[in-house]
Amino acid sequence: MDDLLKNFDSYGALALFVVFALPGFISLQVWSLLVPAAARNLKDIIPDAMAFGVLNAVVGAPVFLFFATTPGQTYALAVAALVVLPVFWPFAIKNVLKRLERAGLILNRARSGWDAAFLRREPFFVIVHLKDGRRLGGYYGYESYAGLHPCSGHIYLEALWSLDEQGRFLAPIPDSRGVVLRPDDYHFVELLASPEETNG
């Protein structure tokens, strides 16, 4: 009897892991690809993973129980409920949060002004005020990159531009392949209208 109870406990723990933890961790991994976040310890992400797992179980279990009438359907729905559906939740939640944010029902989710500016993914001219007093002109386009939280401030500009004494953009620097800057390299960054906005 004791052995039977031990086996039941083992199988029960495995079932709980498969039903809640596994889908939750899948959702959490997808979420981390959509929303930048600082690295966390396993014990800190377990509550979030379980929350995703509960959401997945609440929606997936009724569908599984209602439609799984044959072994083939059972297997297919199990894969869908435990692997495919968890991938969907982060996209759905992010979309809902974005709509609520645009409607003014929740606060802006950007962690900083830097993130708010670059999350728009719009091209613009950039003047970087370096700590040595120089000004660096560049173009932030679709091939450029700006780090977001927790790496805000790191930026790659795909092309450098020459500036006149008043800070006006003159022309692209020949053969420029851009520049990579760290937060410690500059004081602040100016963002100016891109060619698309100027011509539009």
Q: pLDDT per residue over 91-114, tens digit each?
A: 999 999 989 988 888 888 788 899
Gap between the Cα atoms of 166 and 101, Å rounded: 38
Nearest CA to 77 out of 93, 91, 61 is that of 61
Close Cβ partners of 55 (under 8 Å, ≥ 6 residues apart) = 27, 89
Q: Are 122 and 108 in contact (CB under 8 A)?
A: no
Q: Predicted confidence band at 21 (pLDDT cuts at 50, 70, 90)?
A: confident
Query: What was the pLDDT predicted at 68?
Result: 76
Q: Are 32 and 150 in contact (CB under 8 A)?
A: no
Query: What was the pLDDT predicted at 177?
Result: 94
Nearest CA to 91 out of 27, 26, 21, 37 is that of 27
Query: What was the pLDDT predicted at 109?
Result: 78
Domains of the chain: 2-102 (no CATH), 113-199 (2.30.30.100)
What's the distance, Cα to Cα, between the start and end of the chain in Å? 78
Q: Tens digits of per-residue pLDDT, 36-54?
A: 777 778 788 888 888 899 8
Gap between the Cα atoms of 141 and 94, Å rounded: 25
User: Which tops the pLDDT comparison, 25 or 8?
Assistant: 25
Q: Is 139 exposed, middle or buried (0-12, 13-18, 19+ CB in 10 A)?
A: buried
Residue type at position 160: L
Q: For strand 179-181 and strand 169-172, is the pairing parallel, antiparallel, or unpaired?
A: unpaired
Average the pLDDT over 54-76 and give the result.
83
Edge-to-edge strands, sheet with 186-192: 169-172, 159-163, 135-140, 124-130, 186-192
Residues in the chain: 200
Q: Predicted confidence band at 174 (pLDDT cuts at 50, 70, 90)?
A: very high
Q: Predicted confidence band at 13 (pLDDT cuts at 50, 70, 90)?
A: low
Share of the chain above pLDDT 90, in %: 45
Query: What was the pLDDT predicted at 137?
Result: 96
Q: Whole-model pTM?
A: 0.68
As a whole number, the mean pLDDT across the chain is 85
Nearest CA to 90 out of 21, 29, 148 is that of 29
Q: Are 74 and 68 in contact (CB under 8 A)?
A: yes
- Exposure letters 71-98 (e unless 16+ CB within 10 A, then b): eeeeeebeebbbeebbeebbeebeeeee
Average the pLDDT over 17-41 and give the result.
84
